[in-house]
């Protein structure tokens, strides 16, 4: 694969822009099995590289070649999972521009959030440019368990926990929705596991049992937990083991 095509597929701009980066000497690369980055000899944009296991540097920042990008983000409070946010900044501004600019066959560009979290919700959010992965993870048939940590306004009673597990009816849906698991950590803190993802589901379920969510944090998707050292606003690549953990 030509180096300019590698950069193009990874979101560094048009092929002309990518060729320009290489010709200006701003790109180095390291093929699988090599120890050090090397500059492109003779400033050739059509230099052939093996993309498998390739790392490249653009203006000193190192990137792995990834045919498809899979990331996790620790979503901070006060951000919206939208490209056109209303009152708060978009989560996409937390990502470097190549991840937002990766070319796609569809109209959208770059990585997209796998489902949405509310503006005030924090925690684990996955992003990818793999449309099939988004579809599979969002499908109600897939039943990926998501674990939420909920801080409540009023102490929760065991009877209310029972109702969340048995199923509550939300106003726009005659089918009751139930928590797959519900652990009362203390009277004001609940760990709730859901296998569906209806709009504002946690908040509406808690309201249906007569309480109110004060703070909401997603701690886990499938077998993938938000790492303790990934701080709000930070993102990280997902490896094969992470993806296997998410899929369960």
Binding of ligand URA by 200 (CB under 6 A): yes
Residue in 196, 203, 219, 230 binding ligand URA, rule: CB under 6 A: 203
Under 8 Å between Cβ of 110 and 104: yes
Q: Quote the CA–CA distance of 181 and 95 in Å, as a whole number.
A: 33
Q: Say if residues 145 and 222 touch (Cβ distance below 8 Å).
A: yes
The number of beta carbons lying within 10 Å of the beta carbon of residue 64 is 12
Query: Rounded CA gap, 119 and 6, in Å?
Result: 35
By CB under 6 A, residue 201 contacts ligand URA: yes
Tokens 């499908």 map to which residue? 139
Closer by beta carbon to ligand URA, 103 or else 167: 167
* Piece of 11-19, 102-110, 117-125, 133-141 that binds ligand URA (CB under 6 A): 117-125
Question: Cβ-count burial of 79 within 10 angstroms (0-12 exposed, 13-18 middle, 19+ buried)?
Answer: buried
Query: Which residues, 6+ apart, have CB-to-CB distance to 234 below 8 Å?
Result: 73, 74
In the complex with ligand URA, the residue whose CB is nearer, 58 or 125, is 125
Which one of the spans 26-34, 35-43, 53-61, 199-207 is the region binding ligand URA (CB under 6 A)? 199-207
Question: Measuring CA to CA, how many Å separate 73 from each of 10, 121, 200?
Answer: 19, 13, 20
Decide: is 121 part of the binding site for ligand URA (CB under 6 A).
Answer: yes
Residue 118 is a binding residue for ligand URA (CB under 6 A): yes
Among 6, 69, 91, 202, binds ligand URA (CB under 6 A): 202
- In whole angstroms, what is the distance from residue 234 CA to residue 76 CA? 9
Residue placing its CB nearer to ligand URA in the complex, 47 or 203: 203
Q: Which stretch binds ligand URA (CB under 6 A): 37-45, 99-107, 133-141, 197-205?
A: 197-205
48 is catalytic: no
Question: Which window, 30-38, 41-49, 166-174, 195-203, contacts ligand URA (CB under 6 A)?
Answer: 195-203
15 binds ligand URA (CB under 6 A): no
Q: Return d(Cα 154, Cα 87) in angstroms, integer.
A: 28
**Would you say 54 or 156 has its CB closer to ligand URA?**
156
Which residue bears the tokens 């924090």?
122
Contacts with ligand URA by CB under 6 A lie at 117-118, 121, 200-203, 216
């Amino acid at each position: 694969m030509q180096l300019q095509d590698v950069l193009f597929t990874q979101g560094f701009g048009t092929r002309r822009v990518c060729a320009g980066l290489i010709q200006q000497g701003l790109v180095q690369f390291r093929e699988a099995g090599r120890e050090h980055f090397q500059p492109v000899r003779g400033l050739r944009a059509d230099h052939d590289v093996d993309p498998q296991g390739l790392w490249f540097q653009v203006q000193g920042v190192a990137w792995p070649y990834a045919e498809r990008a899979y990331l996790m983000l620790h979503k901070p409070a006060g951000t919206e999972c939208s490209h056109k946010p209303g009152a708060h900044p978009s989560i996409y501004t937390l990502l470097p521009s190549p991840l937002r600019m990766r070319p796609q066959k569809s109209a959208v560009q770059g990585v997209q959030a796998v489902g949405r979290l509310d503006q005030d919700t924090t925690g684990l959010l996955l992003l990818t440019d793999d449309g099939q992965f988004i579809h599979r993870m969002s499908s109600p048939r897939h039943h990926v368990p998501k674990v939420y940590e909920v801080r409540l306004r009023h102490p929760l009673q065991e009877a209310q926990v029972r109702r969340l597990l048995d199923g509550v009816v939300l106003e726009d849906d005659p089918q009751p929705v139930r928590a797959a698991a519900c652990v009362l950590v203390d009277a004001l803190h609940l760990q709730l596991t859901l296998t569906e993802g209806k709009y504002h589901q946690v908040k509406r379920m808690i309201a249906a049992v007569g309480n109110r969510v004060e703070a909401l944090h997603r701690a886990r998707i499938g077998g993938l937990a938000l790492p303790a050292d990934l701080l709000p606003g930070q993102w990280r690549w997902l490896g094969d083991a992470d993806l296997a953990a998410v899929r369960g």
